[in-house]
A = this chain, B = another copy of it.
Amino acid sequence: MKFVKNAIGRLVPTEVNGEKQVPYKGIGKHKPSGRKAAPLIVSAADFPRDGNKLQPTLKYALKKAGLKNGMTISTHHHFRNGDLVAQQIFDIAHEMGVKNLRWLPSASFECHSSLIKYLEDGTIHHIEGSMNGALGKFTSEGKMKGIGILRSHGGRYQSIQDGEVHIDIAVIAAPTADPFGNATGDRGPAACGLLGFALADSQYADKVIVVTDNLIPFPCIPWQIHGNYVDYVVNVDKIGIPEKIVSGTTEVTKSPDRLLLAEWTVRFCDEAGIIREGFSFQAGAGGTALSIGIYFAEILRERKMKARWARGGSNKYLVKMMEDGLLDYILDGQTFDLEGVRSMRENPNHVNTSPFTSYNYHGKGNFASMVDVVILGATEVDVNFNANVVSHSDGYLLHGIGGWQNCLFSKCTILPVPLFRDRIPVVRDECTTICGPGELIDVIVTERGIAINPLRKDLIKTMKNSKLPIKTIQQLKAEAELICGKPQNPEVTKNPVAIIKWVDGTVIDTVWKLKL
């Protein structure tokens, strides 16, 4: 296996799972050439004229779709930890003796740990998507047959659109669908809000199977997934566990440290002039992010101002903000609680988006770069503002990228992070894995001070007289090391277990097998 140092100084393989890779070249430096993937032309003559695409079982549909060794099977993660469909697909594949599948989930969750047996017995060759928790541990320890590929939500769309990944069979679990394959996520017993993560799959896969537990007569309105892309529909008893799909109870943080991060982040935004009439923002669903959203709302209410749009993950706080008239639109990528689902179903200003609209870097622009401020997390940040979001400092791969890389393109990207976790510095000389280049990360907020990226001279000037504890990133690093000592790098082998793709399909970093 050959390696090359990429533009951000990381050693990356030039070939992965038999496919040539392009090393990261810098932001906007890799210009794609060629044409998008071109799906096969089909004819309505080969589909039932009455629109009824129902098949008796998922197994039957998978067989009809031609499931065989070496295929790529895609799923979406809108059911999060309540997914009951991915497991069934690979149970069937195993039963049929099918081997060497590539699984392309838009993300994986703890509930998918049960698939480890299929990684072990060769049913699944490798995963392209997030490898969280037990799957991450399995991967980090070098037990997966192939090399994992991690992509952002936008990168997943880009890779499918660009033909880097060809999906043989897409299985789309749908909370409500009609026999033609029109499907929606905003209603039904397993309602999850939207189905945007399955959009690329529906558009580009050779065969598309919709699996639902709420079959309704045509037409299923809204049709978040177009039946015109769907080959087969399967009606089953249960596709997801509702309480694990949407929590129903997203709560703000009560940790004083996290509340401080939230408060400082909001004060920073305010002093920097970001919170103004018509501004836009994106915050996640974590406790700190939720608190930040609530503070934004308070400020807007006080000053009788209104935000124009927020990018979701939606939750009850964001929904309340809109319903209170403090926000015009929620452009939602995934709904995190029941209020999010309700709002999406009822309110035309709560709009379902997709990685195509929001994140795809190989489109004619996307929404992510228009956001005034985005608040993100990280496991590590280095002195060049590069950050890590997939591995921990012990070298274990434990998270997916999600939309994180894509969001970095916002007008101001802020990472509120603790200076250290379990006495391991978060701000450090070097990241265990680089997921995002420092040039795109503007501000690091820790409980012991705030660092502004030196590239953001404008922000540094604006914040010159701030009473917030503005420090350099080196100062923050020194403070962390003073308390925790210099962090040790994890002991790794020279064998890659996964690569991290940048938003343009190039390889930004490698995850190495751990020395155990």
Contacts and interface: CB of A to CB of B under 8 A. Distances in A.
Interface of A: 27-28, 30-51, 53, 161-162, 180-181, 208, 217-219, 221-223, 226-231, 278, 308-309, 329, 331, 348-349, 351, 356-357, 360-367, 369-370, 409, 411, 504
18 contacts: A27-B45, A28-B45, A31-B45, A34-B41, A35-B38, A36-B40, A41-B161, A42-B363, A42-B364, A49-B369, A49-B409, A50-B369, A51-B370, A53-B364, A180-B370, A219-B331, A227-B364, A228-B363
A411 B348 contact: no
Contacts of A27: 45
A228 B161 CA distance: 13
Nearest to A53: B365
Contacts of A222: 348, 351
Given A50-B369, A219-B351, A308-B217, A357 B228 contact: yes
Contacts of A45: 27-28, 31, 361
Most buried by B among A37, A44, A51, A348: A44
Contact of A329 (B38, B221, B357, B360): B221
Contacts of A46: 31
A88 to B, nearest CB: 23
Contacts of A366: 44, 228
A349 B228 contact: no
A39 B36 contact: yes
A29 to B, nearest CB: 8
Nearest to A232: B364
Contacts of A362: 41-44
Contacts of A409: 44, 49
Given A44-B364, A180-B370, A228-B364, 7 more contacts: A32-B41, A35-B38, A42-B364, A43-B504, A50-B369, A53-B365, A231-B364
A219 B369 contact: no
Nearest to A32: B41
Nearest to A505: B41
Given A40-B35, A42-B32, A218 B370 contact: yes
A353 to B, nearest CB: 9
Contacts of A223: 351, 357
Contacts of A308: 217-219
